[in-house]
Amino acid sequence: MSSNSPPPEEPKTLLDKIGPALAVGLTALSAVFGSMSAAQLQQAMYWKSQAGQDQSKSANQWSLFGFKRSRALEMEAAAQASRSASGYLWTQFLAGESEPELNKEAAKWLNGYGPPRVELPASNNEQLAQLIQAIKDRKPEAELLALAGKIPLAELSKAIDDGEKFVHQTADEDWDKVVKTAKAMAKKVIEEAERKRPDQKVDQTKKDTADATQSLVFAMEDRRYRGEGAMNNAVGYLYEARVYWSSAESNRHRKKSETLGYAMLVAQIGAVAASLALARKKSGSLWFVATTIGLVSLAFGGYALIPATLLSF
């Protein structure tokens, strides 16, 4: 054997073999966790935006509720003024058996028996009812978010769609036909008191009857606006419930993003430790640190990936 031949290479240890792969793997892992953290943050921003849109819709419904309640008060005052002008004359509409059902219903409404009291279709989800009641009771926000997070979005959206459809069908179609018919019936009575000439004497009996009839119309409109306002108010609470659902979903994604961010930082520290260990191959302690940090990083990332239905964030 020649004295100038190079000495045989020492056999590579397990750490020598997996060291480079560990450093590269931790670097890649930190990049993956960083991307996932950014994606979760975007989801959080998306759901927060959805919460803002639903908040606007609930405000629209409550604005309609306030407007219709105000109109109801105006109709109530007008009804009292017309009743006073008639000398508090009592009058009623009588619908014969031969008249159409719509005319019979319109006469009932004018006489004070309509529109009927109605409520939005009830949801089969008890948690949704609990959430709406909690909103009405002004419970703490943390409690509202916890309740909202347990409700499936599909059921919440269906309740809103059913409510909007019910309001349109009831107020804009069913009630509107009866109100128009009732006003047409009242108009015939009111027009009988009209004078054709300035010098024509006022028929006090016809005038009192017209004022009393107009009072019935205003009172019917008062009840109608109150009924429609109550429906708008109920739909507003449904939209408010979805506001809390979107906010709860946004919080879950935000916390996932935060956890994944920690996992990314831990993986980066592990990659740095592994690189230092490569530079000092004999420093077994650094390899131990790198491996430990890598495992901690995987634990953080795994925790963040657990579905919210299994583990709340």
- Quick: pLDDT tens for 18-56: 667 777 787 788 888 888 889 999 999 999 999 999 999
Alpha-carbon span 170 to 74, nearest angstrom: 22
* Listed range (39-48, 163-172, 268-277) with the worst mean pLDDT: 268-277
Per-residue confidence (pLDDT) for residue 300, from 0 to 100: 67
Alpha-carbon span 291 to 275, nearest angstrom: 12
Per-residue confidence (pLDDT) for residue 225, from 0 to 100: 95
**Between 193 and 303, the higher pLDDT residue:** 193
Highest mean pLDDT out of 122-131, 240-249, 260-269, 288-297: 240-249
Mean pLDDT score across all residues of the chain: 85
17 pLDDT above the threshold of 90: no
Cβ neighbors of 277 (< 8 A, separation 6 or more) are 15, 19, 23, 283, 286, 287, 289, 290
In this structure, the number of other CB atoms found within 10 A of the CB of residue 12 comes to 10
For tokens 């179609």, what's the residue? 173
82 pLDDT above the threshold of 60: yes
Mean pLDDT of 249-263: 88
Q: Residue 11 is encoded by which pair of tokens?
A: 């056999």
Confidence of residue 296 (pLDDT cuts 50, 70, 90): confident
* Listed range (129-138, 186-195, 264-273) with the worst mean pLDDT: 264-273
Residue 9 CA, chain-centre distance (Å), reads 70
Q: What is the CA radius of gyration of the chain?
A: 37
Percent of the chain residues topping a pLDDT of 90:
55
Confidence of residue 153 (pLDDT cuts 50, 70, 90): very high
Mean pLDDT of 49-65: 93
Per-residue confidence (pLDDT) for residue 260, from 0 to 100: 86
Q: Decide if 178 contacts 105 (C-beta within 8 A).
A: yes
Cα-Cα-Cα-Cα dihedral sign, residues 52, 54, 60, 63: negative
Q: Decide if 26 contacts 290 (C-beta within 8 A).
A: yes
**Between 196 and 148, the higher pLDDT residue:** 148
Per-residue confidence (pLDDT) for residue 123, from 0 to 100: 84
pLDDT digits (tens, 9 = 90+) for 273-295: 766 666 565 555 655 666 676 66
Alpha-carbon span 58 to 185, nearest angstrom: 37
66-75 long-range contacts, CB within 8 A, separation 24+: 66/229, 67/229, 68/225, 68/226, 68/228, 68/229, 68/232, 69/225, 69/226, 69/229, 71/221, 71/225, 72/221, 72/222, 72/223, 72/225, 72/226, 72/229, 73/222, 75/218, 75/219, 75/221, 75/222, 75/225
Mean pLDDT of 223-243: 94
**Between 297 and 267, the higher pLDDT residue:** 267
96 pLDDT above the threshold of 80: no
Query: Per residue, what are the HEC states of 217-253?
Result: HHHHHHHHHHHHHHHHHHHHHHHHHHHHHHHHHHHHH
Residue 61 CA, chain-centre distance (Å), reads 12
Q: Decide if 70 contacts 227 (C-beta within 8 A).
A: no
Confidence of residue 184 (pLDDT cuts 50, 70, 90): very high
Cβ neighbors of 90 (< 8 A, separation 6 or more) are 212
Nearest to 235, CA basis, from 123, 127, 139: 123
Confidence of residue 1 (pLDDT cuts 50, 70, 90): very low
